[in-house]
């Protein structure tokens, strides 16, 4: 439905900005291309009436008109046409001799005298009145549904179409059974103050009028070109080996998709060569069962009971096995009859093309590796911070005392002045009296941790714990690990 002017430019939609008056006519539903529009022999050499195909409401409705008034119009022009009550405004979608071909396709006879005439070219005031009428359609449809629900009628109003002069409104509805809407018409005429016409349509016609995008990613066939709706059954899906999943086989209308019939004839023709009653075959190794059929490749896949392997056979091979079984003979094992596809050695595989041009596989592998921090030799209390436990913490969890590198100050001693030689530390001071003493006692450390506990002495948490628990005995840290306090 979209013409070339509705494409994108630098990622943004351009659009023709014609606001419904597209000169190409390609923005209409059920559009037809008039390839004889600009030719001088468009209407031939006959002097008979000139017929035109005119579309209304964006192409959802099309009718044929004649131009007895000789109004100079061409394809794509807006015209005012005669109706049973007032006038209407439409756009010429097809003109010339192609209209007669379209009339034959839709079985409309030229001898019919019911063709109405093209009156004139619309003026600006008539365009404004038509826009006002189109603006009322959505609100009218909502009110019409509410009124029908109030009258408890089993029907659904799908679309409302106003005439350009706002004197007539056509209500399109869907219903499973016959509906008595005599009272409904009276209510619509009283509320909307227009002449009311009711038209019942099917679910597929309703989807075509509303429009939408199908599961294939294209616009609905019923809203672009399909007008002849044929019945679709689940047999069409079975013949094409499709799973009977109504959620996937149903279209926007809630019925089976019309496209199931598009390739049905091709599959039916291909199935004529397939053998009948080929569900079971007898071989020397046992009975095999049919599990899969590839119609287009003409392959039938069989398997043994309890065997997970599948053996593909051609249609000709299956026919030969059936002839052997009918004669009371058994075929060879399928392992000897299976098809082995030969690969052409000269065929060169397609090389990988880097569409990004910036990221390579080696760069991704490098960035994916974690960088581990190596522990520097001789650093005390340090270690890796990548989530792995340190060796010192493991020793402490086992009850071993924490060792400190010789000459490295204690954490509680870093910010405190060292006492002069010969001066004893004061009570409550947590300085190490053996910092400059001789060799350390076995077990190492300034203070041995308490029994069953881990005295890590982090951040100065146990700075005065010895004074609180021991009442100042020995001052500072309790040197329980080894040696007397100096």
Low-confidence winner among 27-31, 134-138, 469-473 (lowest mean pLDDT): 469-473
The region of weakest confidence among 33-37, 242-246, 410-414 is 410-414
Pairwise pLDDT comparison (302 vs 486), residue with the higher score? 302
In this predicted structure, the answer to whether residue 407 has a pLDDT above a threshold of 60 is no
Per-residue pLDDT at 192 exceeds 90 = yes
Band the pLDDT of 137: cuts 50, 70, 90. very high
At 386, the pLDDT band (50, 70, 90 cuts) reads: very low
d(CA 44, CA 67): 15
The confidence score (pLDDT) of residue 338 equals 66
Please report which confidence band the pLDDT of residue 273 belongs to, taking 50, 70 and 90 as the band edges: confident
Residue 383 above 50 pLDDT? no
Q: What is the pLDDT of residue 50?
A: 85
pLDDT at 74 > cutoff 60 = yes
Distance CA 93, CA 225 (A): 14
Given a cut of 60, is residue 224 above it in pLDDT?
yes
25 pLDDT above the threshold of 90: no
Provide the pairing of β-strand 12-13 with 8-9.
Answer: antiparallel
Specify which of 39-48, 138-147, 227-236, 374-383 reaches the highest per-range mean pLDDT.
138-147
188: pLDDT strictly greater than 50: yes
Q: Hey, which of 42-51, 341-350, 470-479 has the most confident mean pLDDT?
A: 42-51
More confident residue, 167 or 443: 167
* Long-range contacts of residues 99-103, Cβ cutoff 8 Å, at least 24 apart: 99/51, 99/52, 99/53, 99/64, 100/51, 102/32, 102/53, 102/64, 103/51, 103/64
Its pTM stands at 0.58
CB 169 within 8 A of CB 142: no
Return all residues near 152 (Cβ < 8 A) that are at least 6 apart.
Answer: none
Closest by CA to 185, choosing from 194, 134, 135, 61, is 194
Residue 336 has pLDDT above 90, yes or no: no
Q: To the nearest whole percent, how much of the chain has pLDDT over 70?
A: 59
Beta strands in 129-192 (DSSP E): 156-162, 168-174
Query: Where residue 447 falls among pLDDT bands split at 50, 70, 90?
Result: very low
* Confidence band, pLDDT 50/70/90 cuts, at residue 417: low
CA 266 to chain centre: 30
What is residue 366's predicted lDDT score, i.e. its pLDDT?
61
Note the pLDDT of residue 167: 93
- Give the chain's mean pLDDT: 74
List the single range of 9-18, 150-159, 165-174, 290-299 with lowest mean pLDDT.
9-18
């Amino acid at each position: 439905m979209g013409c070339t002017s509705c494409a994108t430019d630098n990622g943004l939609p351009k659009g023709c900005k014609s606001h419904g008056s597209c000169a190409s006519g390609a923005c209409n539903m059920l559009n037809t291309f008039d390839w004889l529009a600009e030719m001088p022999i468009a209407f031939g050499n006959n002097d008979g009436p000139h017929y035109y195909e005119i579309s209304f409401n964006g192409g959802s409705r099309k009718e044929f008109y004649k131009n007895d008034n000789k109004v100079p119009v061409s394809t794509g022009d807006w015209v005012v046409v005669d109706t049973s009550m007032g006038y209407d405004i439409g756009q010429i979608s097809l003109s010339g001799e192609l209209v007669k071909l379209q009339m034959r396709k839709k079985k409309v006879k030229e001898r019919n005298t019911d063709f109405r005439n093209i009156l004139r070219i619309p003026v600006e005031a008539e365009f404004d009145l038509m826009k006002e009428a189109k603006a009322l359609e959505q609100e009218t449809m909502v009110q019409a549904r509410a009124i029908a629900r109030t009258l408890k009628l089993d029907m659904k109003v799908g679309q409302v179409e106003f005439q350009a002069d706002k004197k007539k409104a056509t209500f399109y509805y869907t219903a499973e059974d016959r509906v008595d809407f005599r009272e409904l018409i009276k209510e619509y005429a009283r509320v909307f103050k227009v002449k009311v016409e009711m038209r019942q349509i099917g679910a597929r016609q309703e989807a075509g009028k509303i429009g939408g995008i199908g599961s294939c990613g294209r616009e609905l066939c019923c809203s672009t070109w399909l007008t002849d709706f044929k019945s679709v059954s689940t047999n069409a899906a079975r013949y094409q080996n499709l799973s009977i999943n109504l959620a996937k086989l149903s279209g926007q209308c809630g019925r089976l998709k019309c496209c199931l019939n598009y390739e049905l004839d091709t599959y039916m023709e291909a199935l004529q060569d397939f053998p009948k009653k080929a569900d079971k075959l007898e071989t020397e190794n046992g009975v095999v069962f049919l599990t899969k059929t590839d119609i287009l490749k003409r392959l039938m896949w069989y398997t043994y009971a309890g065997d997970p392997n599948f053996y593909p056979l051609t249609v000709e091979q299956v026919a030969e096995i059936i002839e052997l079984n009918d004669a009371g003979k058994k075929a060879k094992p399928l392992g000897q009859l299976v098809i082995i596809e030969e690969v052409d050695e000269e065929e060169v595989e397609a090389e990988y093309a880097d569409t990004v041009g910036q990221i390579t596989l080696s760069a991704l592998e490098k960035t994916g590796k974690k960088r581990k921090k190596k522990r520097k030799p001789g650093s005390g209390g340090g270690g890796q911070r990548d989530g792995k436990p340190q060796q010192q913490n493991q020793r402490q969890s086992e009850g071993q005392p924490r060792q400190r590198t010789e000459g490295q100050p204690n954490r509680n001693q870093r910010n405190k002045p060292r006492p002069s030689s010969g001066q004893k530390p004061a009570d409550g001071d947590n300085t190490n009296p053996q910092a400059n003493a001789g060799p350390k006692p076995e077990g190492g450390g300034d203070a041995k941790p308490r029994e069953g506990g881990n005295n890590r002495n982090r951040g100065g948490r146990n700075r005065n714990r010895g004074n609180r628990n021991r009442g100042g005995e020995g001052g500072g840290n309790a040197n329980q690990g080894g040696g007397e306090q100096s």
